[in-house]
Structures are given as C-alpha cells and as structure tokens.
Amino acid sequence: EATAAALRNGWFHTGDQMLVDEHGDYVFLDRTKDAIRRRGENISSYEVEVEVLSHPDVAEVAAVAVANPDVEATAGDEEVKVIVVPVPGATIDPRELVEYLIPRMPRHMVPRFVEIADALPKTPSFKVQKAELRKAGVTPGTWDREAAGIRLRREQLA
C-alpha cells in the first residue's frame, strides 16, 4: 500500500529531499516528513543534527518539529526541538549547548527546545522513531531557550 502511494506518474517518490551540487552529485538534505517549517523557513532536521553532533559531549541527537506553545497551531508555527543523548560520563547543559550552536548555524535553525535523554527511541533496525518524539512534544523536562531569556535577534548593520 505504501509502495503504491509512492508511485506517481511512473516515478517512485522516496520522500527524500535532495539537491544537485556544482559537480552534478546528489546531496541528501532530509526526509520530507522530518523537515521543520518555522516562521516561513524550511529547516532540515538533518542539518540541525549534524551541528549538534559536533559538540564533544553529544553522542546522539534527534531534531524534530514541535508546536509553538506561544501561538495557536498553524502551518509554519513549529519550533525546533532537539533530544540529546550525552556521551557516557558527560553531562550536557542545555544553555551551554545552545550558546555553542548560535555561532555555528543560522538563527532560525537554533533549537528553541532541548531535552536531555538517556536514549532515543528506536525501531528494531535501530532507526530513530522521530514520530514518537514529535508526538511527545514539549514535556515537563524540556528546556526552553526563550523562557531562559535567550532570544535571537537579527543583527543590524550600522
């Protein structure tokens, strides 16, 4: 049934978002269902995860879209949440992680919400169950960058 739905006009639609680079090579961007739409910006969960994984204390991460608790839910009102698993023996301070990310990514990609977890939910084939993480949304254990007073503003040119 899912395969039949993926076949349209003789093409198999995988749900992967790709681009062709200057050498003609295809570059994976994200799964369509995992992309995040925040205030008119399309955000690749994969790109967010790559930056978070560059932090030395992060072993695993999943980036997902969650509803913006400050507005009524409408398309494009999602926020970025990362669920982070520390390397063994390390602790991660959400504020420090966000401050680490701010100079490394465009401001619209910087996660608003950070949750520290012992493990990410996975399928028997070890794929992260992002649908489960999206469904959980903002939990009592989720750290909120804006509630902590970190607001990202556009830089003004003098």
pLDDT, tens only, 82-121: 999 999 999 999 999 999 999 999 988 999 999 999 999 9
Record the tokens describing residue 8, joined without a space: 């349209």
pLDDT tens track for 5-61 = 666 666 655 555 556 678 887 655 555 556 666 666 778 888 999 999 999 999 999
Sorted by sequence, the CB contacts under 8 Å of residue 110 that are 6+ apart come out as 80, 98, 101, 102, 145, 152
| Complete domains list, the chain, with CATH | 33-144 (3.30.300.30)
Count CB atoms within 10 A of the CB of residue 46.
15
Q: How far apart are CA 59 and CA 86, in angstroms?
A: 5
What integer pLDDT is reported at residue 26 of this predicted model? 66
Q: Letter for the amino acid at 40?
A: G
In angstroms, rounded to a whole number, what is the distance separating the alpha carbons of residues 141 and 144? 10
Please give the model's pTM, rounded to 2 decimal places: 0.76
